Structures are given as C-alpha cells and as structure tokens.
Amino acid sequence: MLSELAARQSGLLPDSTRCQPRWRTRGFYLQLTLLLLLAWSNQSLAVILWSDPSSMLIFENSAGRDILEGAVKRDDAANDTLYFKFHVDPQSDSTTEEYFAAFELYEGEVERLGIGNALKAWAYSAFFEQARQPESGPAPDYLDLHSSVLDQSASGATSSYEFPRRGVERTIVFKVQYVPGGDDLVTVWLNPDLSPGANEVYQADALTTRFSANASFDELRLRHGGNGTGWIFSGLAIATSFADFVDTSSAKPAAPASDNNFSAQRQSFQSWQRETGMPRSAIRALAQTRDGYLWLGGDDGLARFDGVRFVNLDLGAVAGGNGVRTLLGDSYGALWIGTSGGGLLRWVKDAFVSLNAGDGLPTNSITALAEDNNGRVWIGTELGLRLWQDGKIFALGGDETLRDAHITALCRDTSGAMWIGVGGVGIFRFRGGALTAVTDPEMEVLLRQPHCLLLDRSERIWVGAGEDFVLCWESGQWRRFRIPRHSAMPFVSSLAEQPDGSVWAGSTSEGLFQFKQGKLSAINASAGLLDNRVTALFTDRDGYLWIGRDSGLSRLRRDQLFAIGQNEGLGFGAVQGLAEVTPGVVWAVKANDGLYRWDGRTFSRLTAAGLSPRDPKLGAMLVTRDGSCWVASTNGLLLFRDPQAVADESRLLELNGVSLTALAEGNDHSIWAGSRESDLWQLARGQWTRAAQFPSSNGITALVAEQDGSLWVGTDGSGLFRWNKSGRAHFSRTNGLASDSIRTLHRDADGTLWIGTAGGGLARWRNGQITTFTTQQGLLENTVVQIQEDNAGRLWLGGHRGIACVSKGDFNADAAGKPNSVFPHLYGSADGMPSEECSAGFFPSGLKTKSGMLWFATLKGVAAVNPELLPTNTTAPAVILENILVDGVSVGSFRSAIARGGFPMTNLAPLRIGAGKHRIELHYTSINFDVPERLRFRYQLEGLDAEWVEAGPRRAAFYNYVPPGDYRFRLAASSGGDAWNESEATLVMSVSRHFWQRWWVLALAATSVLAIVGGGVRFLEKRKAQRRLQRLEQERALERERHRIAQDLHDEMGAKLCRISFLSEHAQRNDHAQGEVRSQINTIADASRELLHTLDEIVWAVNPHNDTLEHVASYINQYAQNYFHNTGVECVLDMPDQFEPHPIASAARHHLFLAVHEAFTNILKHSGATSAKVVLLCHAGNFEIHIEDNGKGFNFAAQQDAAQKNSNSEDGLRNMRQRLEGIGGSCFLESIPGRGTKICFILPLNNANTGKLTT
C-alpha cells in the first residue's frame, strides 16, 4: 500500500488512475442535459426522504447492518436524482492506517458505492464495485475526493486531496443522477458551504469531485474496519435537492452567527505522572473538599493537591496497609476515605477517625460513598448498605433487599433521591422512605451489572453496565451505547458530568468517551490521553474534569488558542491582514497569495470580479462603519462595497507609486492611509489628498483616529505623532518613549492609547503622560507588534516570542508606584501557536471579532484565542495556612480557608513557642488549578516586620530568630491582578521567655548592674583623682626643684661668674698686662660675659615661674632689645599689651627661644640689614612670632638644594624648622634677593606642650 501511495503522490502513476471519472462517452452529453433539466424542474418538489440525526460510533463492524430498513431504494431502472448527506468525526486517521470507513450503498449483499476512506487510499475517497469495466481497461477501485484543504504529497508537491484527521470534522454531500441501464452520474462535495443561501452552483470546484458508478441500492450501511478506533457518523439524510440541506432564503452565502464554535471542541490534557507526593499506583478515587483541595486515593495511600504540590498522607497506621477505593468530600468539610479492607476513615480537623466492622459496618471493604440532602453519609460495602449520621452507623430500614448486597454505586439526584447500584441485582431508587427497583425487560441483563451511576442536570440516568456498555435513560426509554473494545473487559468504571452538559465515561482499557448533544466521541491515548486505563473521573467545583489513570493524573481543559493554517485551507506563509466583513466571516490577506475567506469552518480562496486569485500586491485591510471592506495594494485601495457577497465586484481607487501600510477611518467617514514613504494620505469623495509627511525613512506603521479629528501616527524610527491640520505633537525617546520604532497602536474605551514598540516594550499615553512597561515589569519581551483588548478589559500583546495577556489593572497598579509587577499569561508554540512570531508591517494588525474572539496574524497562519476561557480573576484567591515548623519539627496544622465559596475564616488557636532561639517556618498555599503560576503571596509578622514582605510565588515564610513576645502573622494572596484577599489568614503566636528573661529578673539584674557599674565608676574616678593628685604633687615637687636649681644657679654660679667678669674687666684696665696676657684677659672677659648671658637664659628657661605665654613674650622682647643694642641694626618691636594666661612648657620655651636666637644671629651675620622688626601676637589659637629685615635676602630654593647636597654643613634654617616641629609648631620663611627676609614661627597653644593654667 505504501509503495502504491508513494507512486500516486509522486506522480509516477498517470492522473487517470487517480481521480479522473469514468464517463460513458455514448450519449453522455445528451443524458447530462436531460438530467439537469429534470433536476431543475423538480426543485419545487424537493423533500427529505429519510434522515437520522443521531451520532453513531462505527468501529470494526465487519459488513455492517442496514439502517434504512427499506425507507428508500433505487434500482438500475431509476432515472431521478437523489442527494445524500452525512457528517463524520474521524477517530481513525492517517496515523492509524490501514483502515477503511465509509457511508456505503448496498444492493442486496453487493457493495455499490462507498464514500469515506478506502482501505488503500488514506485520503477522503470514493470506492465502488467493478462489475462494469470501460472498454479502455480496468478502472481504479477508489477515487480521491477533491478538497479545498490540501495535503502535501510524498514528493512535497501540493495535492488535491485531504487526509482525515482526528478532531477535524467534515460534512460530505453527494448527488447521484440515476441513468437507466448505465452508470450513474455522481458528484461529491467534501465539506461544502451549507450556510443560509448556499446552493450547489456556488460550491467551489476545488471541493467537487465528479465520476460515474453504479449507485443502485436498497440498503445503507455504515462501516469501519482495520486500525484505529472508528469514525463517528451523524446527521445522515437523503433528499431530492441540495437545497433540502440549506436555507434558500438568501442568494448570498451568509456567515455563521459566531466564530468561536471552532474552538468549542478543542480540548487538551494537563497531566501529572509520578510527581513527588502522588500515589505510585493507579488512582482509584478522586474528591474535592470544601477548602478546595483535590484528593487522590490509590492502592498505596492518599494525597492532596493544591495545583502545585502533592502532599502524601500516610494511612499505614489507620488503614492497615489497605488501599483507597472511594472518596467523598461532604458538605461539612470532612473527607471520607473508603478502603479496600481497612474500613472507613474520616479526615476532619487534620486528624483521622476510623470506623470499621466493630463500629457497625457489615465489612471493612468499602465500595461506594455518597451524601444525601440531610447530611447523612451513605456507605456502600461488599456486604450491604449503611448510613452514618451524628457519629452513629445504622442500616437502611424498611426493606431487606439490600441485605448482604454488593453495593457498586451510589449517587443523589436533583430531587434528593438516592440511587443505588447493586452488583448482580440491579439499580434501585430510594425516595420518601421507599426503595424502588429500576426495571426494563430489554435491558434486564445489563441493568443487573451496574459499575457506576450518574444522574445529570437534565435528570437523565447514566449507567456503566456490562462489559462494554453505557446506558442512558432519556425521554422514557433506554439508549444503549457500546464502546469499542481491545481487551477482554473494557467496562466503564466511572461517570462524570461537566457544567456544559457533557457526560464523560471512563473505560478501564479504552480511554474516555464523551456524550454531548446526542453525539459520542472517543478520546484515548492517540488523542492526547497519556494512557487508556481510566480508573476514576471527577468534576471539580470549577467544572473541570479530572481523570485518574493507571500512570497518574490528568485534567481535561478546553484549549483557549487554536491555529488556523494549512489544515483549514489557509495554506502556508505569513498572514498580513485580517478583517471581519460580517459576524463570523473573516477575510485574510497573504502576501503573494491573495485573499482568503473564513466561513466558520475552513478558509477558501476569495475570487471576486477584478481581483486576481494570487494578487501579490495586497496588504492591510479595514472594515468601515458602513460595512465596506478596504484592502491596501501597491496601486491604491481596493473597495468591496458589499463584502458579504462572495462574487461582489471590487473597485480600485488608484494611488500609483505609493505603498500603503496603515489604514484608519476618520470621523467624517474619510479613509486615512499611511505609506511606506512616510506620507499621510486622505481619501474623501473618491479623491486622494496628501495631508502630511513625516520624518521617517521606514514609513508609517499605525494610525488611530480620535474623536476630535486628530490622528495618532506611529512611525518606524521617528516615534509617535498626534497630528491635526493645525499642527502636530511629537513623542519620542526624549520625552517618554523607550523606542522610536512604533509597531502598533490601540485606543481603549477610556481614551488611553497603548503603544507597541520594537525594543522599547509597551507604552501608555494617558492624560498627557507616557508610562513605559518592559521586561523589568514582567512583560514577555520588549517588542509588541499587535495589541488586542478582550471584553474583560485585558490586553493581549503579540510579539516575536508569542502572545501575552495582561490585565490593565496590573499596569495601573505599577504606574501608581506600587511594587507589584505584571504577571502575564503566556501563549506559545506549546499552546498551539503555528508560529510564535506575530506578523508586523501593516495596520490594523490583529482582529477582535463580534463574538469576542481575538485573531493574531503570524508568520505561519492565524492564532485565534477565545479569551472567555481564561479566568478573569476578579476575586482574590483563598489562602490556607497549612503547617508550622519550629526547628524543623511540625507543631501541627493550622489550615484556614479565607473568603471563598462563602465559607468564613476558621478561628485559629494561638500558637505558643517555648523559650530559646528557634527557626520558624510557616507553610501556606492557595488552591488554583487554572493558573497556579500566577499566584503571588505576601505576609507580615506584626511586631517584627515593619511592612508586608512580598514573597512572590514562594509558599513558605522563614524566620531564623524571633525574639520573645506576642506576634500576629498575616497572610494574603493575589492571582496576578490588583486584588488581594480582604481578610487575610491570621495566626496569633507567642514566643516564651527564659527564666532569666522575666521582667523582674531583668529589673533586678539591671539594678545590680547599675550598682556595680556605679561602684566601679566611683572607684575608678577615685583612683583617677588620686593619680591626678599624685601627678600634681610630683609636678609641684618638680617645679620646686627647678626653682631651687634656678635659684642656686643664679645665686652661686651667677655670683662667681659676675666676679670673674668683674676681675677680668679690672685686669683689662691694668696697664701692666701687655701682649699675650692682655689677650687672654680679654678672652676671659668675653667668655665670662657670654657665659653669664647663657646662664641667665638657662635660669630663665628652668624657672617654672616663667612657664607662661606672657613671660615668653616679655623675655623675647627684652632679649631682642639687648641683642641688637649697639649693633647698627635698628630693632622695632610690636606686641600686645597683655597676653592670655596660657601655660607653655619649659622645653617649648627653650626651643622657641633658641629658634628666635638663631633668627637674630642670621640677621647680624648674613643679612647686612640696617633694620629688623619683631612682631609677637596670638591669632586663631596660635602664638606667632614674625621676624623680618631689610637685608640683601637670598635665593631660598638654591639654598635648600645646596644644603641637601652637603648634608654635613650647618644649616641654621633647618635647625629652626626642626626645633619648631619638635614642639608641635611650624616655621615658614620667605626671602627675595635684594628685598630682605621674612620668617614666621607658629606655636599652637592647644597642643601637648601647652595648656590652661592651673591654680
């Protein structure tokens, strides 16, 4: 088969072997003309001859059986025309070949004509008997049907046929024009347009196949054989006119009322396999408790699930190792756990209560659980039925029928009646104290084998019965459905209903089956279910279906996003424009491929007068308020006045040489167009006018008209403009935008303008202010090329990495300065996008349809989103404080649900923690199965945390140390918007103190410490005072000693030196001393005088009475007068009348005096001065001595260099500086040759050598 298929697809077989009809040449045209006239003349007599609207799953039924029962038949003598219609939902497809499935016409036991999928064909095809062979040779046994949705052949070329695909439903209509005695003329339309006003004349050639075959019949059979799980047939009908299948009230094909029907059937599974905390065995039971947890029971235990984490609860100690068989969450919030041998458990207030045979149960093997309207729990066991109420177990009185019976199922209907399934016995209803058996002679055998029960909202009774049957009691009769089987026992073990009325059946080996609107659909491993062994079904409070499997847990969810592309007739490549021309009918523009029309099911190429089939010039599209559709091209605008009429003529309003990229409608109904050349054009009354030009080399990318007549103009490189005829306002990176490349614009109902940029994120213009949002605030990316807004006020942003949905409230919160970031819901290739990169370069770029669907043009087709399926999160989620760990040890559960479903917050007992340094962990959660990743939390420990701690998605709070005291822990959650739950979960906690941390102990300790510190301070101060007194005594003793030394030097040595000086002077006056003797006497006299002066200086320096600033100044003053006396140098002295009584140490006085002496000496020896000036003053806390002369001066820098080269040379200047630095002072010298020398000595009065006088 594969080699034959490859040969056909690659073109190795001639076209005549593929789908060329076998026309009879003899008299063909005459017959065709006569039959067409006959068909036309019988239009007024059109009637439905036979129909069956029900759904039938046909699976491996061999030759099948007749379903017409003689209602309609035609033989070889017939000369009229019949129309046949049927709808198929393939469960077998190209991935399960080889197989066949068909709507077949039989004549007796002879196959005449089959329409569906031939065994060797793979594609939709027709096959027929070969009794009549054409003279040219044998004909093929099947023909591929033409389709407008094309598949690629093996060689890669585009074919004219279509493969059946699971989940892609098709309607087939075929016409048989009976020719007496010859092959009949057959015309087949694959998925024709049957909308109001459609007829066979308007059907496209691309979906029409014509051939001839013997179509005589007296039986109609639906058949399937081979691989796969069959086809579902529905909507069967036989009529005398094509018009019998449509409404002929309009000449135009009308659109469907809504376009979201396409996504209504799209479903997928979210699965968990062997996650941490999950039961490792098959999941036997599912339930949901009032706090929102989903509970899973299996052979190896029990677990709960909050959407993120599975937490295992050990049943070993209370269930004896027995597995869980059934679960029930009652109206009081308790969880009931029925085990396979460990009795019944009740989980309430975070503790297990065990009930077993000793408490009144007939056996410890529990099979079913249910709760009635009175709050009583019905307990089904292998040996009978019991009820629990107020802690007591009792039997159901009044009837012995259920004694020792094996209860297989329990459920409650809307009236409060309880339904009971009993294995080997039947089904019973208990109402008003009476037990009534459900009987039906035709179904007696199956009713005795109930595995599960369901009473749906329509009050239908559903029973999983027998080996492979589902029974439904509806309208006073039983309907029987038989499911496909590939194993010995594929019985239905569980049933569940969703809010939309869908009933689901879970088979132990065949997967899932959906019953909806009279139609049966099979969903198994080939449709996305991880395995076919369904062991439990449950519908949660939000209406989602949960599936327990052998290998894990799954949740059924309707897809929000679906792709429209090759399979829907749109072909490959980028879409560059979208417009809804009438509700449910969408046009799409493809570059180099022309216009396409979506009719609610498929796309077809739009052929209109004046429009080329593959026009490479088409671009942006705009539907105006009057219903007209405008399509941009390189030569102007194409106008479709009435786009609802497929054959409507188009009109070209020429604008040669201009490439239009953006369109908008003004308030005056004129058309505004932006070009790639950055020109703004206006079309009014059929005339083009260039209104403005903008400074951008890459053109205008978006246009939005305001109510006041102004236009928002987005450019690619020059930012955003608000333009009117009187001027323009410019917005760019210099005044708020993060990028000057504008990609799209959207104006919401509040007048806010949203701006999509390339690389600069999303910007918002409101009240004259621009705010920018980028990836730093949580956006998926910084390039936004399409912006749509749904009916809930959320923004949908298309970019280069997918689609992001963000609530406008998130942006408002961030713009108000709150620390909240945005938490977008993201869509990408994993969600079904044909390409994550949305198209750009045209405007309008996306589409919001009348039904609320959002369409995004991408590089590989269209991504359509149904935003109604995304929860709006208008209310804050419940929060649950699950557990508290102190130093890694649990101190008990503290679960408390907040503000959900009307249940109040549970009051929590205060938590008391012992004394010591502890690490405290608080674990919390919030139940959300839709978008758990969007949940964010915040908490605050009042008394320790100054403000809320933003925890993000983290579900635990950690405190490494909490000081002793009383605290209040607050917890809140948000689902990503600005709404936080108003009543947070709260817990009062207290950390105890050690004995030594008691207040009176601390007070006593503080008093003792104060006393000790005070005593210590007093002792230290006393010691310090004593040492200071001793030091003063020593200083006084030293001063007395210095005074004594000075006095002794003055009295003893001074007197003797005066005597020597007197004697030497007397000897000088003696005339007898001559020559050398006289010279020696002179030397002695001079030396004695100098020694006397030196002694006087030493006495002055040693004497403590001179240790004051005033004595220093007076001595220097007196010394200067004496030093320059009779030297030829006039000395001028300048000093204040009085100095502050500031002390100066003797060493400081000595070094200061020697420095002054050195300066005086330099004046006499080296300066050649005739005058000197000495100034003494106190300034800024310093004692300063300024000495200057009018001598010859010198080069100070050269002098310093010479001194450095000759380190052994005497340098008086260096000595002066060193003496001053030694006592904490400084020396400054200034000398200019020919202008004298100035020197300044500065001694700080607050350094260690000085201090205040003490008395």
Q: How far is CA 645 from CA 592, 607, 609, 1188, in A?
A: 23, 11, 11, 115
Reading phi first (left if > 0) and then psi (alpha if -120 to 50, else beta), residue 1097 is in alpha
pLDDT digits (tens, 9 = 90+) for 571-584: 888 998 999 988 88
Amino acid at 370: A
Mean residue pLDDT of the chain comes to: 82
Whole-number percent of the chain with pLDDT over 90 = 33
pLDDT at 1245: 82
pLDDT band for position 1239 (50/70/90)?
very high
- Given a cut of 60, is residue 8 above it in pLDDT? no
pLDDT digits (tens, 9 = 90+) for 818-841: 435 777 888 888 788 889 999 998
- Given a cut of 90, is residue 780 above it in pLDDT? no
Block residue for tokens 């002179």: 1082
pLDDT at 978: 55
The better pLDDT of the pair 896, 327 is held by: 327
Predicted structure pTM score: 0.62
d(CA 91, CA 532): 14
DSSP alpha helix (H) spans, 377-473: 444-447
pLDDT band for position 1249 (50/70/90)?
low
pLDDT digits (tens, 9 = 90+) for 727-772: 899 999 998 899 999 999 999 988 899 999 999 999 999 888 899 9
pLDDT band for position 1121 (50/70/90)?
confident
Mean pLDDT, residues 965-980: 79
The better pLDDT of the pair 870, 912 is held by: 912
Whole-number percent of the chain with pLDDT over 70 = 82
Element (H, E) at 1151: helix 1146-1162
pLDDT band for position 529 (50/70/90)?
confident
d(CA 76, CA 69): 19
Q: In what order do the strands lie in the sheet with 477-482?
A: 450-455, 461-465, 469-474, 477-482
Q: What stretches of 33-98 adopt beta strand conformation (E)?
A: 48-52, 56-58, 81-90
The better pLDDT of the pair 44, 1103 is held by: 1103
pLDDT digits (tens, 9 = 90+) for 418-476: 999 999 999 999 998 889 999 988 889 999 999 999 999 888 999 999 988 899 998 88
Q: How far is CA 324 from CA 143, 287, 366, in A?
A: 55, 12, 9
Mention every residue, 6+ apart, whose C-beta is less than 8 A from residue 972: 876, 879, 937, 938, 939, 948, 980, 981, 984, 985
Element (H, E) at 304: strand 301-305
Amino acid at 415: S
d(CA 1065, CA 1048): 25
pLDDT band for position 875 (50/70/90)?
low
pLDDT digits (tens, 9 = 90+) for 54-69: 778 888 777 888 999 8
- Given a cut of 50, is residue 327 above it in pLDDT? yes
- Of 63-77, 80-94, 727-741, 1111-1125, the range with the lowest mean pLDDT is 1111-1125
Mention every residue, 6+ apart, whose C-beta is less than 8 A from residue 1156: 1116, 1119, 1120, 1185, 1187, 1241
Q: How far is CA 88 from CA 93, 558, 777, 1083, 1165, in A?
A: 12, 21, 48, 146, 130
Report the length, in residues, of the chain: 1255
d(CA 749, CA 753): 10
The better pLDDT of the pair 116, 809 is held by: 116
- Given a cut of 80, is residue 211 above it in pLDDT? yes
d(CA 841, CA 860): 15
- Of 75, 525, 316, the closest CA to residue 302 belongs to 316
- Kindly compute the dihedral angle of the four CA atoms of residues 446, 450, 451, 457, in this order, to the nearest 10 degrees: 110
Mean pLDDT, residues 14-37: 38
pLDDT at 679: 93
pLDDT at 152: 56
pLDDT digits (tens, 9 = 90+) for 360-373: 999 999 999 999 99
Helix, strand or coil, per DSSP, at residue 1150: helix
d(CA 661, CA 845): 10
Q: Are 970 and 942 in contact (CB under 8 A)?
A: yes
- Given a cut of 70, is residue 633 above it in pLDDT? yes
The torsion angles phi and psi of 483, rounded to 5 degrees, stand at -90, 150
d(CA 808, CA 787): 12
pLDDT digits (tens, 9 = 90+) for 1132-1173: 988 888 888 788 887 788 888 888 888 888 888 888 888 999
The torsion angles phi and psi of 1009, rounded to 5 degrees, stand at -65, -40
pLDDT band for position 542 (50/70/90)?
confident
d(CA 130, CA 140): 9
Q: Are strands 949-952 and 936-942 parallel, antiparallel or unpaired?
A: antiparallel
DSSP one-letter string for 1004-1053: HHHHHHHHHHHHHHHHHHHHHHHHHHHHHHHHHHHHHHHHHHHHHIIIII
Q: How many CB atoms lie within 10 A of CB 205?
A: 9
d(CA 590, CA 1095): 118
Mean pLDDT, residues 117-139: 67
Q: Which two tokens stand for residue 1148?
A: 């400081």
pLDDT band for position 603 (50/70/90)?
confident
Mean pLDDT, residues 711-733: 92
